[in-house]
Amino acid sequence: MGSELAARLAARHLKLAQFCGFDLVELNLKSKGKKGVIKEIANLLAKSHNVESEEAAFEALIERENLASTGIGYGIAVPHGKSQHCKGLTIAFGRSIKGVNFGSIDGAPVHYLFGILVPITSVQLHLQIMASLSLLLQGEKNRKCLEIAQFPQEILDFLDGKE
């Protein structure tokens, strides 16, 4: 079984889209810098009933980002964090058409950002989601879906491992 297929099957099992939503997807981020796009991702996360405020989300994401870049290569960053102001796992997605210097491990600009926020007590779920998303993002065909998406539903389908 190919790795892309295995990743899609794992994603279908977890149904990552249940932690996201149409209003947590932005296909045209405006900011040109790392801090700005993290702020935009925090704003998306705050649209969820699970997240108390944009400020709390931003604080959690930037605190983690200050430890080391969450730019994982291939034009992808996964800013993530834990917060006492978060009631449940929440995932947001943003796409930067021009790309942002994120200090990624491969030095490439970041175009696709998955923001993940979890309650402080959800360490195991946090790790499981990060692993599942990493698997899904490994496949070039899977990453292409992020580039060509025209509607938030396509991102939600991606998160659920659908083609």
The catalytic residues are 80
Name the residue among 97, 110, 108, 116 with its Cα closest to residue 41. Answer: 116
Q: In this structure, how many other beta carbons lie within 10 angstroms of the beta carbon of residue 2?
A: 9
Task: Name the token pair of 152.
Answer: 């938030």
Name the residue type at position 127: L
| 145: exposed, middle or buried (Cβ count in 10 Å: 0-12, 13-18, 19+) | middle
* Cα end-to-end distance, the chain, whole Å: 16
| 70: exposed, middle or buried (Cβ count in 10 Å: 0-12, 13-18, 19+) | buried
Cα 15 to Cα 10: distance, rounded to the nearest angstrom: 9
The 8-class DSSP code of residue 51 comes to B
